[in-house]
Amino acid sequence: MNESGLILDKLTILRGDAPLVSLDLQIPPGEVVTVMGPSGVGKSTLLAAITGTLAPGFALRGGIRLDGQDLTALPPEARHVGILFQDDLLFPHLSVGANLAFGLNARIKGRAARRARVEEALAEIGLAGFAERDPATLSGGQKARVALMRMLLSEPHALLLDEPFSRLDAALRGQIRELVFSRARALGLPTLLVTHDAADAAAAEGRVIELAALD
Amino acid sequence: MRLRYAPALTLALMLGPVLAGLAGTLLPAIGLFPALGGTAPGLAPLKALLGWPGLGPAVSLSLGTGLAATALSLVLTALIVGSWHGTRAFRWLEAALSPLLSVPHAAAAFGIAFLIAPSGWISRALSPWATGWTRPPDLLIVQDPWGLAMTLGLVTKELPFLLLMTLAALPQAQPRRSLTVAQALGYGRLTGWLKVVLPRIYAQIRLPVYAVLAYSMSVVDVALILGPNTPPPLAVQVMRWMTDPDLAQRFTAAAGATLQLALVAGALGLWRLGEGAAARLGRAWVAQGCRRHADGLGRRAALVLGALSAGAVLAGLAGLALWSVAGFWSFPDALPDTLTLRPWLRHGPELLEPALDTLLIAGAATALALALTLACLQAEQRFGLTPGARSLWLLYLPLLVPQIAFLPGLQTLALMAGADMGRGAVILGHLVFVLPYVFLSLGDPFRSWDRRQATIAAALGAGPARIFWTLRLPMLLAPVLTAAAVGFAVSVGQYLPTLLIGAGRVQTLTTEAVALASGGDRRLIGLYAIAQTAVVVLGFALAIAAPRLVWANRRGMRAG
Amino acid sequence: MLKRLIVGLGLSLASAAGAAPDPKNWDAVLEEASGQTVYWNAWGGSTATNDFIRWAGDQVQARYGVTVEHVKLSDTADAVARVLAEKTAGKDEGGAIDLIWINGANFAAMKENGLLFGPWAEDLPNWRYVDVAGKPAVTSDFTVPTDGLESPWAMAQVVFYYDTARLPEPPKSMPALLGWARANPGRFTFPQPPDFLGTTFMKQALYGMVEDPALLQQPAEDVDYDAVTAPLWAFLEELTPNLWRQGRAYPQTGPRQIQLMADGEIDLAISFSPGEASTAIANDQLPDTVRTFVLDGGTIGNASFVAIPYNANAKAGAMVLADFLLSPEAQARAQDPSVLGYGTVLDLAKLSAEDRARFDALELGIATLSPDELGPALPEPHPSWMTRIEADWQARFGTAQ
């Protein structure tokens, strides 16, 4: 069996002793799989299990593998799984440039080299020269783009999207959605999208899975 | 790893001294005190205590003033928050809270004593044109036998404290929504708040209320200034026995300290029962469905009484400040004859050393408390420890056990261990009282930090340590500084710990003020009261100003 | 010269080895004291006293290299408690307190419990100037022999001060006081016992009422206490309702009364320091219409001492300080009413002409009585009287509601 991509191998998440949600799924590189379901069914918990930040009181059974490597044995910071939330969650005390540089691979050494990479990234999303800006002064769309870029600069091997477009107004939504998906496909990242919006699912052009409650 | 031991270490540093001190104070109560020849347990100390004729009044004073001060403060808090929360006037009140809390207890008590005495400021302002007095009337206002002046003095300081704790507890109860529903159903604002919001938040402020009760019953410095002397409340009498030249009185003092402990425990139990009764009455009241209960009156009373309370502290302080620059000032002049800087020039230099010691001790104790608190909170996050109700009780324990019941024993033990007389020991002693406040102040903001930030940071490859130092801590700068200011204020105001553990070799502004107060010179009292308050206010000013400066170009940080 | 050097070296080695300093060898004491820090636990409730202590510390620092730290107490019993706590804990060396300003019951308690170092006082160089014959109180502290365990430094005598603007003719005997209080209720008070000044007022009253004053020199247990004190209680029964606040509250210390008089609350007060009123006037604490007087028949006088705890860390330095306090220079300064206004323990006849001139040059202050006007000092009763009177007063009046 092909081991590339993100594999959820009979993954079951339990709240206490009771199973909450269960999923068996393989996402090949570059594909966007959408997960939909009613509120409270455990979609965000699912993502938390993959990033390794499950709240106390939850446990998981089964396996999570990324490009052949078992993620459940790794701490969150070693998993190379990127995540985007509803809110851009830019670090308010750091400048735009510092936000972007936060996840920049340590492989790029030297202040000049790192700054150059950040400038490059800013130019890619049309925000050249914004490095010293206060994140709070950016518009909603600008913030979303910076959040995406911040994540991509850390060179993730998979992408998790927790309803990242629902806070954006209708005009921006399509734009940002397109940006995220095109990037994901271009970089060949297996992507898991959690959403309520059918339009998101349609734009993802991938499988759609309906989660049902287990209890 | 080391972080995992943080909670245990914190508990040890905070509760160890309390338990050890209790043992050291209670053993003499049953007659065991080798240096004074007490080698066999017996009931002699208890008999001596019961033989004191003032025991009955002293006990009822302790109970009476404690319960009255707590009940009054709680009722006023409920009225004020219920009537005015969310309005513009309330924002003024919130702004006034920090300055009110900054004034140390002793300074506030001195100020109020000057205000309300028959020869005090209010009387001077009204004489002789309104009252016809050329000599002050012989009225027993300050140090009255029922402890009314003392109760009032306590209320002026406990009210801001309870207000602060209530405000901290409010967001969780989501008062605005509930109030809107209640008002839509026809309930008046105050009545609605009392019936709908108060029951929910009382559980959150229960422990602060207990702390207020324990403190009011066993406070020594406020009782010395405003409370009666024939006889004094029990805690003051215990302190007198502790320092009596007749060394055999030490046993009686220990018995008294034990009694004080029992009284506090009993009062807390009584209050608990009262809570149950109030709950039952409250449910019946709610079921009645009456919409309005003199809401307008309650509103106005809350405003007037709240303003009076705040005004008393501030006016008292102003009076003391005036005394510190006064020439000769006799009754019935409303202002001193001459203003002079002589008191400051004469005594200012000798203020410097205690001031520096105060700053050093407060700074060190606060820094230690912050480090321990942050370590504990971070350990909580990392190892998934959930703080239960029991841990909150443990946190409040140093505030519920009367100081007079364990500090003397701690002094003896510290002596035996050879670890005393230095600033180090005093700092550790202060730590016992600073830790709870710092923890309470920092706990909620720390825990309510958006954990998704941490998730993102981890997804970006940052480990827990990096997340703490580069994200969590900088983003929590304002709450951390506020907690530091609170801890600082607590340390500055401590009297008994410095005096007993420091063996008189460590002099802070507070110990100096109380020592000099026995001389009665209001100029000197004014000087020290102002100095004490200034130090604390400086801390709070820093806590407010520093984040503004640091995040001058980060709008997202200032909004929070 | 060489011999002195060897002797001095030997002695300093001996003291370095932990032997107690011997005041008979003053040079060795001075040597050991140099560089020491003396923690002088003394009442800190009076700004005037604090200033004097600071001055003494500066002098001793400059002349002998001894640093003095004034530990301000609100009650001497705190220091006694501290030494006791140290003894309990077995701390027999390096104690926190080096010198205590002490007398009366506190001294008796420390002496009885073996908490004092000594004897040393009568071997101090300046002891030769002390007026032992004329002031018996310097060797008999409330009838308890000092045995050289404490060194005197000030004489106190009871005076009353009053505001002439409101009270032109003060009462000069206890019966007169009672009559005046009945006519002007609420204008007199005294510090609440167990404050020493309050108890002294009662002892003073007792002097006027007892047939044979010598009875008071004996322990209270040896005489018919109840018979002797009966008139006192009768007097207080009548006086108390006419006191300030009808006797339901009292000032807690002597100096507190100064503020009361300044506030216009009382017209008459008792004090142990003949110069206290003048000093207060000089400090804007009292109006300049205040004057002092003594009762007909004399008033009680006693001496203030300094004592060294058995486990003091800087015994040599403490002795040097005590000796300095006995010096004519320090005594004259203490007597200066603009400084302290305390009486001297020295016999002026034993001083050199130069030193005597210092005393003659002093201006006593407008409210201070001259030594002639002060009259004879009645001796303090045995400490047991104070303890019993205190306890009885507490029982009868101290818990009145």
Average pLDDT for residues A133-153, to the nearest whole number?
Answer: 91
Higher pLDDT, A21 or B414: A21
Convert the pLDDT of each residue in A30-54 to its tens digit: 899 999 888 777 888 899 999 988 8
**Which residue do the tokens 């790794």 mark?**
A74
Does the distance separating the beta carbons of A103 and B461 come in below 8 Å?
A: yes
| Per-residue pLDDT band at C401 (split at 50, 70, 90) | very low
Does the distance separating the beta carbons of B504 and C79 come in below 8 Å?
A: yes
| Per-residue pLDDT band at C11 (split at 50, 70, 90) | very low
In angstroms, the separation between the Cα of residue C6 and the nearest Cα of chain B is 36
| Per-residue pLDDT band at B415 (split at 50, 70, 90) | low
**Which residue do the tokens 């027999």 mark?**
C92
Residue A36 counted as domain residue: yes
Domain hosting residue B372, numbered range: 2-23+55-294+310-322+343-559
Number of structural domains in chain B: 1
**Which residue do the tokens 């940052």 mark?**
B462
- A30-44, B48-62, B409-423 — which one is most confidently predicted on average? B48-62
d(CA B336, CA B321): 12
What are chain C's partners, defined as 3 or more CB pairs within 8 angstroms? B
| Residue A68, domain CATH | 3.40.50.300
pLDDT recorded at residue C284: 81
Q: Does A16 touch chain B (CB under 8 A)?
A: no
pLDDT recorded at residue C6: 39
Q: Is the pLDDT of residue C330 over 90?
A: yes
Average pLDDT for residues C23-49, to the nearest whole number?
Answer: 88
d(CA A162, CA C240): 83
pLDDT recorded at residue C152: 93
Chosen for mutation from B119, B122, B224, B246 (greatest number of chain C CBs closer than 10 Å) is B246
Residue A15 counted as domain residue: yes
Domain hosting residue A193, numbered range: 6-92+156-210
Closest Cα partner for C191 from C401, C390, C363?
C390
Contacts of residue A158 in chain B, CB cutoff 8 Å? none
Number of structural domains in chain A: 1
Residues 440-499 of B with CB under 8 A from C: 499
Does the distance separating the beta carbons of C88 and B36 come in below 8 Å?
A: yes
Residue A173 counted as domain residue: yes
pLDDT recorded at residue B416: 64
Q: Does A135 touch chain B (CB under 8 A)?
A: yes
| Per-residue pLDDT band at A197 (split at 50, 70, 90) | confident
pLDDT recorded at residue B559: 58
The SS3 assignment for B294 reads coil
| Residue B285, domain CATH | 1.10.3720.10
Structure ipTM: 0.89
Can you read off the two tokens belonging to residue B192?
A: 């609605």
Measure CB to CB from residue C284 to each of B33, B327, B415 and give the nearest one.
B327
Residue B261 counted as domain residue: yes
Least confident of A203-212, B15-24, B511-520: B511-520
pTM for the structure as a whole: 0.80
Convert the pLDDT of each residue in C39-54 to its tens digit: 999 988 777 888 899 9
CA A62 to the chain's CA centroid: 21
Convert the pLDDT of each residue in C172-227 to its tens digit: 999 999 999 999 999 999 998 878 889 899 999 988 888 888 888 888 888 888 88
| DSSP one-letter string for C327-363 | SHHHHHHHH-TTTT-PBP-B-GGGS-HHHHHHHHT--
Residue A28 counted as domain residue: yes
- Do the two chains B and C touch, given a threshold of 8 Å on CB pairs and at least 3 pairs? yes
Closest chain B CA to residue C396:
B53
Closest chain C CA to residue B518:
C45
pLDDT recorded at residue C239: 93
Contacts of residue B465 in chain A, CB cutoff 8 Å? none
What percent of chain A lies above the pLDDT cut of 70? 98
Q: Is the pLDDT of residue A84 over 90?
A: yes
Residue B331 counted as domain residue: no
pLDDT recorded at residue B82: 86
In angstroms, the separation between the Cα of residue B91 and the nearest Cα of chain A is 26
Residues 56-85 of B with CB under 8 A from C: 57
In angstroms, the separation between the Cα of residue B12 and the nearest Cα of chain A is 26
Residue B125 counted as domain residue: yes
In angstroms, the separation between the Cα of residue C3 and the nearest Cα of chain B is 41
d(CA B122, CA B120): 6
CA B374 to the chain's CA centroid: 23
What are chain B's partners, defined as 3 or more CB pairs within 8 angstroms? A, C
Contacts of residue B464 in chain A, CB cutoff 8 Å? 77
Long-range residue pairs from B297-305, CB within 8 A, at least 24 positions apart, any chain: B298/B79, B298/B82, B298/B83, B298/B190, B299/B83, B299/B84, B299/B189, B299/B190, B301/B79, B302/B76, B302/B79, B302/B80, B302/B82, B302/B83, B302/B84, B303/B80, B303/B83, B303/B84, B303/B89, B305/B76, B305/B79
| Per-residue pLDDT band at B248 (split at 50, 70, 90) | confident
Q: Is the pLDDT of residue C21 over 80?
A: yes
Average pLDDT for residues A159-176, to the nearest whole number?
Answer: 88
CA B480 to the chain's CA centroid: 20
Q: How far is CA B419 from each of CA B325, B501, C87, C393, rounded to the nearest angstrom?
A: 41, 10, 15, 41
Residue A120 counted as domain residue: no
| DSSP one-letter string for B360-422 | HHHHHHHHHHHHHHHHHHHHHHHHT----HHHHHHHHHHHHS-HHHHHHHHHHHHHHTT--SS
Measure CB to CB from residue B459 to each of A51, A90, A137 and give the nearest one.
A51
Q: What are phi and psi of B234, to 5 degrees?
A: -55, -45
Average pLDDT for residues A80-109, to the nearest whole number?
Answer: 89
Least confident of A20-24, B93-97, C154-158, C260-264: B93-97
Stated as kind and residue range, the H or E segment containing A171 is helix A170-187
Convert the pLDDT of each residue in B323-378 to its tens digit: 988 888 888 788 888 888 888 888 888 889 899 999 999 999 999 999 999 999 99
Q: Residue B83 CB: number of other CB atoms within 10 A?
A: 24
Q: Is the pLDDT of residue C1 over 70?
A: no
Can you read off the two tokens belonging to residue C246?
A: 């009808």
Closest chain B CA to residue A57:
B384
Q: How far is CA C317 from each of CA B262, B524, C20, C55, C313, rounded to the nearest angstrom?
A: 46, 31, 12, 16, 9
Q: Is the pLDDT of residue C16 over 50?
A: no
Q: Is the pLDDT of residue B520 over 80?
A: no
Does the distance separating the beta carbons of A134 and B458 come in below 8 Å?
A: no
Q: Does B34 touch chain C (CB under 8 A)?
A: yes
Does the distance separating the beta carbons of A134 and B556 come in below 8 Å?
A: yes
Q: Is the pLDDT of residue B146 over 80?
A: yes
Closest chain A CA to residue B555:
A136
Contacts of residue C249 in chain B, CB cutoff 8 Å? 140, 142-145, 228-230
Beta-sheet strand order (sheet of A58-66): A18-27, A6-15, A58-66, A69-70
Does the distance separating the beta carbons of A154 and B461 come in below 8 Å?
A: yes
Residue B122 counted as domain residue: yes
d(CA A2, CA A5): 8
Measure CB to CB from residue C45 to each of B416, B499, B516 and give the nearest one.
B516
Residue B32 counted as domain residue: no
Contacts of residue C106 in chain B, CB cutoff 8 Å? 245
CA C397 to the chain's CA centroid: 26
Does the distance separating the beta carbons of B559 and A136 come in below 8 Å?
A: yes
Provide the mean pLDDT of chain B.
86
SS3 readout for C177-226: HHHHHHHCCCCECCCCCCCHHHHHHHHHHHHHHCCCHHHHHCCHHHCCHH
Residue B301 counted as domain residue: no
Least confident of B167-181, B253-267, B428-442, C155-169: B167-181
pLDDT recorded at residue C3: 43
Cβ pairs bridging A and B (under 8 Å): 79
pLDDT recorded at residue B43: 84
Residue B125 β-bridge partners = none
Question: How many Cα atoms occupy the beta-carbon half-sphere of C334 within 13 Å?
Answer: 25
Angle (CA) A205 A206 A210, round 5°: 120
- Which domains can be identified in chain C, with CATH numbers? 21-154+303-368 (3.40.190.10), 159-301+377-398 (3.40.190.10)
| Per-residue pLDDT band at B504 (split at 50, 70, 90) | low
Least confident of A19-23, A160-164, B398-402, C122-126: A19-23
Q: Is the pLDDT of residue C137 over 70?
A: yes
Contacts of residue C79 in chain B, CB cutoff 8 Å? 504
d(CA B49, CA B27): 15
Q: Is the pLDDT of residue A202 over 80?
A: yes
**Contact in structure between C72 and B515 (CB atoms under 8 Å):** yes
pLDDT recorded at residue B36: 64
Q: Is the pLDDT of residue C290 over 90?
A: yes
Does the distance separating the beta carbons of A156 and B455 come in below 8 Å?
A: no
Higher pLDDT, B36 or B557: B557
Q: What are phi and psi of B128, to 5 degrees?
A: -90, 5
Closest Cα partner for C248 from B142, B407, B325, B19?
B142
| Per-residue pLDDT band at B187 (split at 50, 70, 90) | confident
Residue B305 counted as domain residue: no
Cβ pairs bridging B and C (under 8 Å): 187
